[in-house]
Amino acid sequence: MTNCGRLIQTCGMARTLVAVAAGVVLVSQASAAAARAPTLEPLVAEADRVWQLSEMGDVVGAGNRCEVLVRAADALRASGKLEMARDYYRRAALVRPWDLDTKVRFAEALLQIGDADAARSMAGQVQTFAETDRLLDASRALAGVVPLPELPTVASLAPQAGEVVLGLVCAPNTDHWMPGEVGRRLSGLLGVRVGLVAAPFVLGKPDRTGRAQLAEELRRSLPWTEQRMTLYVPGGKLVPPQFLSDDAVISVMRKLVEHDGGPEQIQSFRAQLALADAQQNWDVSRLLSDLGQSNVQPSQGKVVYLALVPVDLFSGSTDFLFGSASPTGNYGVVSFCRFAASFTGEPPKRARLVDRLCKQMLSTAGFALGVPRCGDLRCARSYPRSLAEHDAKGAGLCPECRAGFAKVLGHALPAGE
């Protein structure tokens, strides 16, 4: 065979190999598409069954399985079926309207389709109610809304002689929107300048867990003097429970339940213990001390430092506190943990969270400045024993507290509150 013939034969073989390879690729792509199709169809079919519950009047049942509708919408969107995805997002939004994460995805799909007005409207709902930076940032981007500027730094404010400035100090995991909205509200209520401390407030490890509280409750409630307790107490001897560690007390309870209780009691105790292990509390006295040591006063004027923390607070025998201030003044710690929808189980509502937080900030700032507490239920500074009482009291200041703030601030408070 000539060189030319061999070249032609080689080229032909190459073309054949390329064709075979291309065929393999096409078959592989077709196989992959075929493999994907069956997974999408059952998902959509399941979502249709959930939607049927709603159409038959069982909105609660459909809402309980709303994640099926969302999974179908996500899968349809990922596969490029945007019109179908929009329909399933719409259904999910109907049966569970407070699912803000789904509304963000719905808005994204609407924007992909080209319905910018509907996308902005959907994102606007999220922007109104969201309590987290993640949802706020996503909704603002979709709605084309520019966030408000951040507060100035405390270092840039330079208080004048006799001036009181509020300095907000944020612990890690505090949402960035919070000091801005709360600070502007406080500035308007008190007529003071408010700044943001640049350095974060480090909380350290929790000072108490739910396990410690559970152990203390068991020390009070178990029949420690009964002879049968020798079966469960370490060493087999009756001893005062205060001599036992928290873990030892809980171990006694576990053995007691497993020996004398039934399956329901055992399951209940395990659930109680799991809940206790998940609960963490920080001692507000320690936090106030740390806050005072990490922030200094200016050469003139005064800065009242108020720390915003996302953790649960306690003090002594008090199981929880919304906030507290240093008795020597200038420092306060406010927790928004029990104000947030993520804790209470309520639908998210940022305006409600800001109201709750501002009431507590007014109360704590007053204590830090030496303003006595009032008992007027219409005043933000009246003492609440629960979140319900905190919500029920007024959002502004009573005449007595207004006069107290005016005295320590050196000026009359703005009118209208």
pLDDT tier at 36 (50, 70, 90 boundaries)?
A: very low
Going by C-beta distance under 8 Å and a sequence separation of 6 or more, which residues neighbour residue 230? 236, 237, 238
Are 307 and 330 in a shared domain? yes
**Rounded average pLDDT over 168-196:** 96
**Rounded average pLDDT over 90-107:** 96
% of the chain residues with pLDDT over 70? 90
Are 99 and 43 in a shared domain? yes
Of the ranges 13-22, 154-163, 349-358, the best mean pLDDT one:
349-358
- Whether 203 is covered by a domain: the verdict is no
Residue 338 DSSP symbol: G
307-356 tens-digit pLDDT:
999 999 999 878 889 999 997 779 999 999 999 999 999 999 999 999 99
Alpha-carbon distance 312 to 343, whole Å?
10
Residue 380 has pLDDT above 60, yes or no: yes
Of the ranges 13-27, 242-256, 398-412, the best mean pLDDT one:
398-412
Neighbours of 160 (CB within 10 A): 11
262-273 tens-digit pLDDT:
888 888 988 888
Are 111 and 169 in a shared domain? no
The whole-number pLDDT of residue 289 equals 94
Going by C-beta distance under 8 Å and a sequence separation of 6 or more, which residues neighbour residue 397? 189, 362, 379, 380, 381, 405, 413, 417
- Whether 324 is covered by a domain: the verdict is yes
Are 213 and 169 in a shared domain? no
Are 303 and 173 in a shared domain? yes
The whole-number pLDDT of residue 3 equals 34
Are 361 and 218 in a shared domain? no
Residue 322's φ and ψ, nearest 5 degrees, are -80, -25
Alpha-carbon distance 327 to 307, whole Å?
15
Task: Please tell me the total count of domains within the chain.
Answer: 3
Are 370 and 317 in a shared domain? yes
- Tokens 């929808």 locate to 341
- Whether 349 is covered by a domain: the verdict is yes
Are 356 and 238 in a shared domain? no
Cα 45 to Cα 34, 51, 86, 95, 118, distances in angstroms: 17, 10, 16, 17, 27
Residue 15 has pLDDT above 50, yes or no: no
Domain that holds residue 106: 33-143
Are 115 and 85 in a shared domain? yes
Alpha-carbon distance 337 to 353, whole Å?
10
Going by C-beta distance under 8 Å and a sequence separation of 6 or more, which residues neighbour residue 91? 47, 51, 54, 69
Residue after which a domain boundary falls, among 255, 280, 305 = 280
What CATH number is given to the structural domain containing 42? 1.25.40.10
Residue 67 identity (one-letter amino acid): E
Are 322 and 276 in a shared domain? no
Contact 68, 47 (CB under 8 A): yes
- Whether 286 is covered by a domain: the verdict is no
| Sign of the C-alpha dihedral computed for residues 85, 86, 91 and 93 taken in this order | positive
What strands, in cross-sheet order, belong to the sheet with 302-309? Answer: 194-196, 164-170, 302-309, 331-335, 323-325
Residue 366's φ and ψ, nearest 5 degrees, are -60, -45
pTM exceeding the 0.85 threshold for the entire prediction: no
- Whether 226 is covered by a domain: the verdict is yes
Residue after which a domain boundary falls, among 248, 280, 312 = 280
Taking Cα atoms as reference points, which of 276, 288, 389, 396 lies closest to residue 335? Answer: 288
The whole-number pLDDT of residue 417 equals 52
Are 319 and 396 in a shared domain? yes
What CATH number is given to the structural domain containing 356? 3.40.390.10
Residue 193 has pLDDT above 60, yes or no: yes
The whole-number pLDDT of residue 337 equals 95
Are 314 and 340 in a shared domain? yes
Alpha-carbon distance 53 to 65, whole Å?
10
% of the chain residues with pLDDT over 90? 71
- Whether 69 is covered by a domain: the verdict is yes
The whole-number pLDDT of residue 211 equals 87
* Mean model confidence pLDDT for the chain: 88
- Whether 23 is covered by a domain: the verdict is no
Lowest mean pLDDT among 6-20, 150-164, 330-344: 6-20
Residue after which a domain boundary falls, among 253, 280, 307 = 280
- Whether 17 is covered by a domain: the verdict is no
